[in-house]
Chain A
Amino acid sequence: MMVALIVLPVILTAAVTIAAMLYVASPLVRESELPRASSADGLARRLELVEERDRALAALKELEFDHRTGKVSDRDYREQVGPLRRRAAETLRALEPAAKPDRPAGSRRATPSRAKVRS
């Protein structure tokens, strides 16, 4: 009984330690050393543009919805929609050179002026 009381915790501790070490070491032997995603500066710049485009499109949707709910007056809407569309178009143009050339024209993302703006 005394032996079990002393030995059992030691065995348990050893088992837990070994299991933890195996789990910790497993990626070192099993996984491949793949290059990191988005590591290049060019990709970071592209990500910034994509975020900017999404931000501009979301702002357009928001403006449309606020206009519909009466939060934005007709005059404010007319004043704001132009610059927002221009901003979205600029980011789309900036992203354009990196677009795949073999895409059929019809499948390309619509510019904000043609996009169906819904909230």
Chain B
Amino acid sequence: MAFFGQAVLLLVLGLLGYATVAGSYAAVRGRRRLLSSAVNAFVSAFACTVLAAGTLVLAFVRNDFALSYVANHSSRQLPLAYTLAALWSGQEGSLLLWLLVLTGVGAAALLLNRRLVIDVLPWTAPILGGIGAYFAFIPNAVASPFATQTAPPNGLGMNASLQNPYMMIHPPLLYLGYVGLTVPFAFAMAALASRRVDERWVVASRRWTLFSWTFLGVAILLGAKWAYESIGWGGYYAWDPVENAALMPWLAATAFLHSVMVQEKKKMLRVWNVVLIALTFSLTLFGTFLTRSGVINSIHSFSQSSIGGWFLAFIAVVAAGSAFLIISRLSILRTSTRLESLASREAAFLYNNLLLVAFALTMLWGAAFPLLSQALRGVSISIGPPYYNFFLRIFGLPLLLLMGIGPLLAWRRASLRSLARAVSWPLLFALLVGAMLVRAGAGSSLPGLVAYTFSAFAIAAVLVEFVRGTRARKELGDTTWAGAFTSLVSRNRRRYGGYVSHAAVVLLAIGVVGSSVYNSGRTAHLQPGQAMSVGGYSATYLGTKLTRSASHDALRGQFELSYRGKSMGIVEAGKNHYKVEQFFANAVGIHTDWLRAEDVMLIGDQFDKDGSVFLKIAVNPLIDLIWIAGLVFLIGSVVAMWPDAREKRQLARRALEIDGRRPVVA
């Protein structure tokens, strides 16, 4: 099994090496057949990676502890579902999953855009091949998942924090988002290398960016929910460097998805867009470096390993290569189109880009500074939540406001009068909400009040856009309001899908502000029969119960929860003791009070032998809006991603007009 897995992995490296070398030669010499062969090599590499990953999963299922990776991350007591997910529970397997996703999305991109790749952007295949070859080299030469040993009778088990249902979905989705961003990077760099900077690479890149951005966004939220429900510290996002590592490329990709519209509509920001794509991809690599190298101490990171240097070298190569390509193609990228007005849709996109990129770079500095300090001065520095929260307010609040203003602005320029008319209703609504919140006592936090007022403005702007658009479609001939609405959305899915995503961000902002600014909590030492109260809620400690299973013992404290004297049922909170792993993990109790739109979280911090418990209760208002925002975000993304028949027809017509051939963008 180990031999087959290792041999197939070696074959993957060979195939990706061939895709790089043969693809590069074909791109330089214009050899179409050789390029097609390079594409096939990449697709074959994906098939072989599936075999390698399948072999490792099979080894887990069969408890083949002769493989060191299996022995170190599984045990005979581990439930089957976690055994299957153990593939990505450690360093070597995660890198194999990385390679699997990379070759998978790369192969899909090459096959779905085969004509574009072969005829217009021949450098796509060798660039993807080169990146793939690097990620195949690591598990082959530096961190092999198929290393063998004398098989012990049982494995060491899986990290207890990972034994959670979110473990099965969060990492694959995160990788899809993270690694998927390789594809737009490859298209962009191929366009520069091939000197084809027309709109075709933009269309292909934009679709794959949207795809990856969606998965990355959903994965970040799932990770937050996992932390909230499992870690037991009462929060969901700790500004941990590894968490930030996923957020940074998401912010940069968000900026790109906005600025690329300016390029498509106005032929502006062409240099900026390729810089953004290169930055986004470099940030994914930097994030990978943070997670894999073990240079930082994080709940997410893997142990100290030797792959950090390899990643740094690769980041340097990617950054230098991208910079060289961009600088050498400046003459064909630059256009004479200028911004007509500072009050226009494209100007709003520019401001939003500056804020998003500034926030991403601030986070990058927050992650990099402690590393630099340690490396250059030998001084250990930690940058924590106060730094990030400060910049979240500095950049996040104007972004919220811009999310409302941007959709109301027309392209090119807006006169003061039309601008005043466009913003009147949302502004009125926002001021009304602000006044009501002050009256309700929300003025205790100025940033919180401002965030809510801006959120009201942004959500009202989205609604106004839908209402005005639907009314205009009805005037244009749609017979019913439902028909007009459907017609509105289907004619411009990207715009209206984007507005739904804006609504999701507003919900997210409301949830984040509510749960972090207006939360409350306390800890108390309780004997059975005693009670403690927080924010109108009261928890009475009834006692404990112990449940045993093959993998772990579950100790649960039982608490009767009530609100102002009215019983809300029994909530259990306790700890799990994982036997093989010799590890204690929190099992928090969460009661969602939908009527008051808040969560009551019970954390059994410490259970003493005398039957007493140190209980922590946290009341988190509006926190569930964060998870609902995830669903709304997904809906918006699906609407925006849905294939656009008009765009397809336009590309087909263009291809016919240019050289009488079928379109080169599927």
Contact = CB atoms under 8 A, between A and B. Distances in A.
Contact of B44 (A13, A23, A27, A47): A23
B32 A13 contact: no
B22 to A, nearest CB: 9
B410 A23 contact: no
Interface stretch (B4-12, B91-99, B589-597, B599-607): B4-12
A19 B413 CA distance: 59
B43 A36 contact: no
Contact of B410 (A25, A54, A55, A66): A66
Contact of B37 (A12, A24, A54, A72): A24
B226 interface: no
A26 B658 contact: no
A24 B41 contact: yes
B410 A72 contact: yes
B198 interface: yes
B414 A27 contact: no
B471 A69 contact: yes
Nearest to B51: A16
15 contacts: A12-B4, A17-B11, A24-B15, A24-B18, A28-B34, A36-B118, A38-B120, A38-B664, A51-B654, A59-B412, A62-B411, A69-B472, A73-B417, A73-B421, A80-B412
A54 B119 CA distance: 22
Interface string B1-41: 10110011001000100100000000000111110110111
Given A16-B8, A38-B119, A47-B198, 7 more contacts: A20-B15, A20-B47, A26-B40, A27-B36, A32-B33, A33-B33, A72-B414
A4 to B, nearest CB: 13
A71 interface: yes
A75 B411 contact: no
Chain B interface mostly: helix
B422 A70 contact: yes
A59 B265 contact: yes
A115 interface: no
B199 interface: yes
B319 to A, nearest CB: 29
Interface centre among A13, A58, A69, A72 (most CB of B within 10 A): A69
B308 interface: no
Interface of B: 1, 3-4, 7-8, 11, 15, 18, 30-34, 36-37, 39-41, 43-44, 47-48, 51, 115, 118-120, 196, 198-199, 264-267, 408-415, 417-418, 421-422, 465, 468-469, 471-472, 475-476, 491-492, 650, 654-655, 657-659, 661, 664
Contacts of A28: 33-34, 37
A68 B475 contact: yes
Contacts of B655: 37
Contacts of A16: 8, 11, 48, 51
A71 B408 contact: yes
B418 A72 contact: yes
Contacts, number: 147
Given A9-B7, A13-B3, A23 B33 contact: no
A70 B468 contact: yes
A71 B348 CA distance: 15
Contacts of A54: 650, 654
Contacts of B198: 44, 47-48, 51
Contact of A73 (B36, B48, B418): B418
A55 B267 contact: yes
A54 B120 CA distance: 20
Contact of B415 (A26, A36, A73, A118): A73
Contact of A68 (B409, B476, B492): B476
Name the 5 nearest CB pairs between A and B, nearest first.
Answer: A27-B36, A9-B4, A69-B468, A20-B44, A73-B418
Grouping DSSP codes into helix (H, G, I), strand (E, B) and loop, the A interface class, with mixed when no group exceeds half, is helix
B267 A20 contact: no
Contacts of A38: 119-120, 196, 658-659, 664
Interface string A38-53: 1100011011101110
Contacts of A76: 410, 413-415, 418
Contacts of A63: 410-412
Contact of B491 (A12, A31, A119): A119
Contact of B411 (A32, A52, A59): A59
B4 to A, nearest CB: 4
Nearest to B43: A23
A44 to B, nearest CB: 7
Contacts of B413: 76, 80
Interface residues on A, range: 35 or more
A105 interface: no
A111 B47 CA distance: 51
Contact of B659 (A33, A43, A55, A62): A43
Interface of A: 9-10, 12-13, 16-17, 19-20, 23-28, 31-34, 36-39, 43-44, 46-48, 50-52, 54-55, 58-59, 62-63, 65-66, 68-73, 75-76, 80, 118-119
A28 B7 CA distance: 26
Contact of B8 (A10, A13, A31, A52): A13
Nearest to B415: A76
Given A24-B18, A28-B37, A43-B659, A36 B119 contact: yes
Contacts of B32: 31, 33-34, 36
B455 to A, nearest CB: 22
A69 B469 contact: yes
Contacts of A62: 265, 411
Given A16-B11, A37-B661, A23 B472 contact: no
A51 B335 CA distance: 14
B658 A50 contact: yes
Contact of A37 (B34, B36, B650, B664): B664
Contacts of B476: 68, 118-119
Contacts of B409: 71
Contacts of B469: 65, 69
Nearest to B658: A47
Nearest to A21: B44
A68 B18 CA distance: 56
A39 B658 CA distance: 11
Nearest to A62: B411
B414 A71 contact: yes
B411 A66 contact: yes
Contacts of B119: 36-38
Given A24-B18, A55-B265, A76-B410, A68 B659 contact: no
Contacts of B30: 36, 39
Contacts of A75: 415
Nearest to B12: A20
A23 B40 contact: yes
Nearest to B470: A69
B462 to A, nearest CB: 14
A25 to B, nearest CB: 7
Nearest to B39: A27
Contacts of B422: 70-71
